Chains A and B, each alone.
Chain A
Amino acid sequence: MPRILFHLVVPAAISVCLVALALPAGIHAQSDVAKVYKKNCVLCHAADGSGNSSSGKALGAKDLASSEVQKKTDEELTEVIAKGKGKMPAFSAKLKPEDITQLVAYIRAIPKK
């Protein structure tokens, strides 16, 4: 490998990545609840709430727009998020009550998208 590549390009690439590390996590404008959803829910429920992520399919994650989910009351949804249910873990130790309340509202808005 040419020496110039080793001495210039590689350190430059590493530097760019380290700068990327230092950048704020969400450089795009995003509401707080959207960030909470992305950080905690997307892994299984997918960005659109469909549950069609690879891990969501394997675990049988619910489609948040489905009537099965939407017919639940806000209190029931809050309890599922806080305490977990089935394969879904509890988030009460991580999320504040107001975050969970906002998530419930976010879930309610999914079918309207």
Chain B
Amino acid sequence: MKLTRPIVCLMAAGAVILILSASRDTRAVPSYSRQTGLPCATCHFAPPELTPFGRKFKLDGYVFRTKPEITTEDKDKKTHDSALHLLEAFPLSVVFDTSFTSTSAPQPLTQNGNFQFPQDISLFLAGEWADHLGSFAQVTYTVQGNHFSWDNTDVRYANSHDLFGKPVAYGITFNNNPTVEDLWNSTPAWGFPFTASNVTPSPLAKAVINGTLAQDVAGFGGYGMWNEHLYIGGTIYRSQHLTGTEPNPGTGSPFNIRGLAPYWRIAWQTVTKNNSLEVGTYGMHMKSSPNAITGPMNGYTDWAFDFQYDRTIPQFKNDVLSFRGTYIRENSSLGATFGAGLASLIGHHLNTVQGNVEYHYGTKLSGTAGLFDITGTTDPLLYAPASVLGSANGDPHTNGYILNVSWWPQQNVDLAVQYTGYRRFNGGETNYDGAGRSAGGNNAVFLLARFVF
């Protein structure tokens, strides 16, 4: 069957009809659920969006449980034996994604209407490892790579005490993606869109904190939440290239952190019965040498602000309305890239604005509308012309919108329809790449079936 636009529209309409016929009550059981005995919806408005309980569960090191463990503990402290706290149930979960993607205009020399079965399969080691120590560790198989590869990981130790008469929850984290340790869904690692196609063209320009370093770094950091209001965190990162040789020779990698790259995070939150508000700032500084570990360096400093507001509406059976947004300002000094003749000037900046609003109809259905806008320094060498992925005028300006409807017939099954529309792509509306492609040609319909078990 040829998947023409009318057929795709009919499929989307069919999915919407199914969604509207859905009822609300749901149950699910991934590994955190197996550990806590709680349904997914206790921690998630819809995965991966965290409720206040989910944020506290993460803050406390993923260790809360109601299920039995194998344990020995010397309560009398009369021996030199170590204690043991080991989950009886191994905390393993699986996510299976299968998808269909169609862009408005086919990418040259490729078949449009791309069906992936699977798009990816993720295995999660997610739960309590020991007393005060837990993880969210993910490995993912992708069809394109045809192998499993390390994915988002956050292993943390957490504890709590009192400070100035108020509780402080604190911990340390080992992770591999700046912002993956964060508690809110307004920062890049866990931000909207929560699912996405992996075959559609992506804009050229992206701030380093906005996913550029995901799974390409190893980080060690600490955090604390005082009085359930003030959150302060920081992590230092070094490059760790997947499939790269160790120690890192730098070759073949566009980013090789020189010294340490610090990431910081400060947020303030307030939670009432029906309202949850967070405002914060985050950012990082990095010096990096492309394809080398010595010689000229590029410098990047990202400053970002974010907010998240979740409003529970009792009059509508506790449906939840969420607003999220972030602004990232990146100032970069691309001395190494300039020296290599790949940038026409040294000083650059990049502004990224992302915002979205989402309505959760119970735990079964959610609809999200998001906007994004990327602007920055025009540089015809850095953002060079190339078919589909390049820029004809060197302008990184990209903006558009994303509409997503997710139906969770059970809390561990997600059927999603997503439409991404571009008004401008890599600096242009028409012929943006110098090869005749229009921004609207990258508009995409993405259908996803996700199974979590």
Contact = CB atoms under 8 A, between A and B. Distances in A.
Interface of A: 1, 5-6, 10, 13-14, 17, 20-21, 25, 28, 32, 38, 40, 42-44, 47, 53-55, 57-60, 84, 87, 89-91, 93-94
A6 B60 CA distance: 29
B377 interface: no
Interface in B83-99: none
A47 B167 contact: yes
Interface centre among A32, A47, A54, A59 (most CB of B within 10 A): A54
Contacts of B55: 54-55
Interface stretch (B63-71, B240-248, B417-425): B63-71
Contact of B133 (A14, A21, A55, A94): A21
A94 B167 contact: no
B272 interface: yes
Query: Interface majority SS on A: helix, strand, loop or mixed?
Result: helix
B75 interface: yes
Interface stretch (B34-42, B101-109, B195-203): B34-42
B157 A89 contact: no
A44 B65 contact: no
B343 to A, nearest CB: 24
Contact of B271 (A44, A57, A87, A91): A57
B252 interface: no
A32 B56 contact: no
B37 A89 contact: yes
B37 A17 contact: no
A57 B36 contact: no
B52 interface: yes
B228 A1 contact: no
Contacts of A93: 37, 66-68
Q: Binding site of B, secondary structure by majority: helix, strand, loop or mixed?
A: mixed
Interface in B24-61: 36-38, 42, 51-53, 55-57, 60
Contacts of B350: none
A57 B55 CA distance: 13
Nearest to B171: A17
B159 interface: yes
B342 to A, nearest CB: 25
A94 B56 contact: no
Interface residues of B, number: 39
Nearest to A59: B53
Contacts of B172: 17, 20-21
Given A53-B56, A55-B271, A90-B66, 17 more contacts: A1-B259, A17-B222, A21-B132, A21-B133, A25-B131, A25-B159, A40-B66, A42-B160, A53-B228, A58-B273, A58-B276, A59-B52, A84-B37, A89-B38, A89-B66, A93-B68, A94-B66
Nearest to A23: B159
B53 A32 contact: no
B333 interface: no
B236 interface: yes
A36 to B, nearest CB: 12
6 contacts: A21-B172, A40-B64, A55-B52, A89-B36, A94-B66, A94-B68
Nearest to A2: B259
B298 to A, nearest CB: 15
- Report which residue of B37, B220, B236 has the largest number of chain A beta carbons within 10 angstroms of its beta carbon: B37
B260 interface: yes
Nearest to A1: B259
Interface in B153-179: 157, 159-161, 167, 172
A28 B224 CA distance: 19
A54 B269 contact: yes
Nearest to A26: B159
Given A54-B52, A58-B51, A32 B65 contact: no
Contacts of A59: 42, 52-53
Contacts of A94: 65-69
B53 A55 contact: yes
Nearest to A55: B53
